[in-house]
Amino acid sequence: MKKICVIGTGYVGLVTGTCFADLGNQVTALDVNEEKIRDLQNGIMPIYEPGLAEMVERNVRAGRLSFTTSYKEGLKDAEFAFICVGTPEGVDGEADLRYVRAAAESIAENMDHPLIVVNKSTVPVGTGDWVADIIASKQPKPIDFAVVSCPEFLREGVAISDFMHPDRTVLGSTNPRAMEAVAQLFLPLRAPIMMTDLRTAEMIKYASNAFLATKISFINEISIICEKLGADVIEVAQGMGFDKRIGPHFLQAGVGYGGSCFPKDVKALAYMAQTHGMHPQLLTSVMEINEFQRRHVALKLHDLLGEIQGKTIGLLGLAFKENTDDIRESPALAIARHLLEQGAHVKAYDPEAMENSRRAVPEIEMCPDAYKVAENADALVVVTPWNEFKQLDMVRVRDSMKQPILVDGRNIYEPDTMKSLGFIYRGVGRGYDGNGIERSAAD
């Protein structure tokens, strides 16, 4: 059993700390947000993540997981301090490191014994050296420490599974002994552990996310071409995915990527390149395609409805993806804001993200279920592919709408089935001809 302090109780910190506790370690999760810590101490989760509440409760009850706002308490006897704070997007796309700096300074001011500081936040290349300099300069008296980079690769909605069954663990440091000590924490997961230097480890995180975002933007651009040429992007992606060099993952055409990672990480990597005199053409195109994909859904509505002003548009889904309540960079909210600006009345339902969305865009009418969203709507847009939307009574949906117009931004329905039910259906890349007229399978 190791003693671990995890700094930050957002998605990464709370999942990381809870999973380490579940592996038998003694974990103190620390956050400067007093309300969040008070809620966690009372069993109230700050985020929705499947299975997390139950795991937190189990480990708190077992005495392996506790919560505090005190660095002195959190670092007491700790062998490892994991920095898991947010690095939001800055003004020019750079990563904002104010929370990382605050964590490093507080560690330095409160540590009273040798410590391994593990940076799990997504940070620009070179941040590990910077954190080490901050700690060294802010210590009241010199105490040995080492900095190890350990980038996270957790996907919201399946974060616990990703932690417990990782594809790999990446570690970087100038201190081999410290890196080996961190590696021991991850050995029970029985996954490959790659050890490298600090900057390479930091770059692996950015390069991984940028590549996945590129795959998403690539298939979205292909989907628009498919619409014009009469091909079906789902079958195109399937045919591509059989090639082992390409693979089937992240080739689902839709409304573009969102969330807390891909948008800001691609921008941050492009910013790093630009500040070093480079022109990141591919990254720029990835971002431009992603932005257009959201507008593309709105353009479909314009084509089908003509004038948007005064129309009632229903949105199925508000979170950036299913199985989360996270609305950061959500395509749904971007689409909602555009429609509201055009004078539409926007209704919406999401199983988990309505409270967050209500605070972000209060003009949206929140509905108790998908059927209320459909009532008297001129058009319905699927934006988040929650499983419950795939099993709706579509006859009931059709009959309650003012016009049976369905824009399927996630391709969760079959075009022929929706057409046979009387819907005017538009998916993403589902085989339109050059005039934007949908083809049937018989064509």
Cα angle: 330, vertex 337, 292; to 5 degrees = 65
Say if strands 145-149 and 115-119 run parallel, antiparallel, or are unpaired.
parallel
**pLDDT score of 319 more than 50:** yes
pLDDT at residue 433 in the model: 43
Q: What is the pLDDT of residue 12?
A: 97
Q: What's residue 125's pLDDT?
A: 96
> Quick check: is 367 catalytic?
no
Buried b or exposed e, range 56-79, using 16+ CB within 10 angstroms: beebbeeebbbbbeebeebbbebb
User: What type of residue sits at position 324?
Assistant: T
Closest by CA to 150, choosing from 99, 127, 130, 158, is 127
Check residue 392 and give its pLDDT. 98
The CA distance from 146 to 117, in Å, is 6
By C-alpha distance, which of 51, 74, 199 is closest to 125? Answer: 199
How far are the Cα atoms of 25, 76, 310 from residue 80, in angstroms, in the given order? 11, 10, 57
- 61 CB-near residues (< 8 Å, 6+ apart): none
Instruction: Taking residues 241-266, report their average pLDDT.
Output: 96
Residue 434: per-residue pLDDT: 42
Q: Phi/psi zone of residue 197: left (φ > 0), alpha (ψ -120 to 50 degrees), beta?
A: beta
What mean pLDDT is predicted for residues 189-197? Answer: 98
**pTM above the 0.85 mark?**
yes
Total residues belonging to the chain = 443
| pLDDT tens digits along 50-88 | 999 999 999 999 999 999 999 999 999 999 999 999 999
pLDDT at 435 over 50: no
Q: What is the Cβ-side half-sphere exposure of residue 61, based on CA atoms within 13 angstroms?
A: 7
Residue 8 near residue 84, CB atoms below 8 Å: yes
Query: Residue holding tokens 């948007």?
Result: 308
The pLDDT tens digits of the residues spanning 134-155 come to: 999 999 999 999 999 999 999 9
What is the average per-residue pLDDT within 171-183?
98
pLDDT of residue 436: 47
Exposure string for 129-155, b = 16+ CB within 10 A, e = fewer: ebbbebbeeebeeeeebbbbbbbbbbe
Q: Which two tokens stand for residue 304?
A: 């089908």
Q: What value does the mean pLDDT take over residues 389-406?
A: 98
Residues 6+ apart with CB under 8 A from 310: 343, 344, 345
pLDDT tens digits, one per residue of 150-174: 999 999 999 999 999 999 999 999 9
Centroid of chain to Cα 318: 13
Chain mean pLDDT for the chain: 95
* Residue partners of 245: CB distance under 8 A and separation at least 6: none
- Provide the pLDDT for residue 92: 86
What share of the chain in percent tops pLDDT 90?
A: 95
φ/ψ of 82, rounded to 5, equals: -90, 120
Residue where the block lists tokens 């961190």: 182
The pLDDT, as a whole number, for residue 91 is 86
CA distances from 152 to 209, 283, 326, 413 (A): 11, 21, 18, 33
At the topology level, CATH places domain 3-196 in Rossmann fold (3.40.50)
pLDDT at 298: 87
Give residue limits of the domains in the chain.
3-196, 222-426
pLDDT score for 144: 98
Q: What is the mean pLDDT of residues 94-109?
A: 97
What does the pLDDT read at residue 432? 63
Q: What is the pLDDT confidence band of residue 131, given thresholds at 50, 70 and 90?
A: very high
CB 96, CB 88: distance < 8 Å: yes
Residue 440: pLDDT band by 50, 70, 90 thresholds? Answer: very low
Catalytic residue, candidates 5, 19, 150, 261: 261
Is residue 442's pLDDT more than 60?
Answer: no
Architecture of domain 222-426: 3-Layer(aba) Sandwich (3.40)
Residue for token digits 């940028």? 210
Q: What pLDDT is stored for residue 431 in this prediction?
A: 83
Mean pLDDT calculated for residue range 11-15 = 97
Please write down the HEC assignment for all residues of the chain: CCEEEEECCCHHHHHHHHHHHHCCCEEEEECCCHHHHHHHHCCCCCCCCCCHHHHHHHHHHCCCEEEECCHHHHHCCCCEEEECCCCCECCCCCECCHHHHHHHHHHHHHCCCCEEEEECCCCCCCHHHHHHHHHHHHCCCCCCEEEEECCCCCCCCCHHHHHHCCCCEEEECCCHHHHHHHHHHHHHHCCCEEEECHHHHHHHHHHHHHHHHHHHHHHHHHHHHHHHHCCEHHHHHHHHHCCCCCCCCCCCCCCCCCCCCHHHHHHHHHHHHHHCCCCCHHHHHHHHHHHHHHHHHHHHHHHHHCCCCCCEEEEECCCCCCCCCCCCCCHHHHHHHHHHHCCCEEEEECCCCHHHHHHHCCCCEECCCHHHHHCCCCEEEECCCCHHHHCCCHHHHHHHCCCCEEEECCCCCCHHHHHHCCCEEECCCECECCCCCECCCCC
